[in-house]
């Protein structure tokens, strides 16, 4: 029995990617809520262990041990369960789906327009702008060379 191939349009693909991204965000939010509850339990253990008088029963739950548990819990469980890798891959999939949609809905390019004839005033203004730009570039090049010369002289004077 042949499998039916599901053909997705770029718009459906983008919707799927957006929903998938929302699921990863919701998963991260749920993970953080569970982590907050767990850290509250650690806080209760910490309060109980610091309130106990020094005795043998306190050996199993020293306040510094509880703090160590929290420190280990954060990178070991929160960051891993938030699935940052999935968020990054979903963001890449959304960007690719947007690009595919943009390509699919792109209108064909219009025929190039012939260049318009310039009036004599426009030609003069364009030539003047070109000359001004060349002058600015020439001045910049001269300043750049002067700075390079000064640095070179300072290096020579420093070395000698």
Q: Quick one: DSSP state of residue 52?
A: S
Domain match, 70 and 142 both: no
Are residues 55 and 131 located together in one domain of the fold? no
Answer whether residue 81 is part of any domain.
yes
Asked if residue 94 is part of any domain, the answer here is: yes
Confidence of residue 3 (pLDDT cuts 50, 70, 90): low
Q: What is the DSSP string of 102-157?
A: HHHTPPPPPPPPPPPPPPHHHHHHHHHHHHHHHHHHHHHHHHHHHHHHHHHHHHHH
Which is higher by pLDDT, 107 or 127? 127
Assess if residue 110 is contained within a domain: no
Closest of 24, 28, 21 to residue 81, by C-alpha: 28
Asked whether residue 44 falls in the same domain as residue 90, the answer is yes
Residue 60 banded pLDDT, cuts 50, 70, 90: low
Q: Which of 104, 136, 151 is the last residue of a domain?
A: 104
Residue with tokens 């929302």: 22
Helices 63-73 and 10-51 cross at an angle (nearest 10°) of: 170
Do the domain assignments include residue 112? no
Closest CA to 52 of 72, 68, 41, 44: 44
Q: Are residues 144 and 71 in the same domain?
A: no
Count the domains in the chain: 2
> Range of 15's domain?
10-104
127 and 66, same structural domain?
A: no
Question: Do 15 and 76 belong to one domain?
Answer: yes
pTM for the structure as a whole: 0.55
**Mean pLDDT on 11-36:** 92
98 vs 92: CA distance, rounded Å: 10
């Amino acid at each position: 029995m042949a499998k039916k191939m599901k053909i997705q349009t770029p718009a459906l693909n983008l919707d799927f990617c957006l929903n998938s991204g929302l699921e990863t965000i919701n998963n991260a939010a749920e993970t953080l809520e569970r982590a907050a509850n767990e850290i509250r339990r650690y806080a209760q253990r910490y309060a109980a262990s610091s309130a106990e008088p020094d005795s043998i029963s306190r050996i199993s739950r020293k306040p510094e041990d509880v703090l160590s548990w929290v420190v280990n819990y954060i990178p070991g469980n929160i960051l891993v369960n938030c699935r940052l890798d999935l968020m990054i891959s979903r963001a890449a999939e959304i960007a690719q789906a947007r690009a595919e949609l943009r390509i699919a809905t792109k209108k064909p390019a219009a025929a190039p327009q012939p260049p318009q004839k310039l009036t004599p005033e426009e030609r003069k203004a364009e030539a003047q702008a070109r000359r001004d730009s060349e002058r600015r570039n020439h001045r910049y090049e001269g300043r750049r060379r002067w700075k390079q010369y000064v640095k070179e002289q300072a290096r020579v004077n420093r070395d000698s």
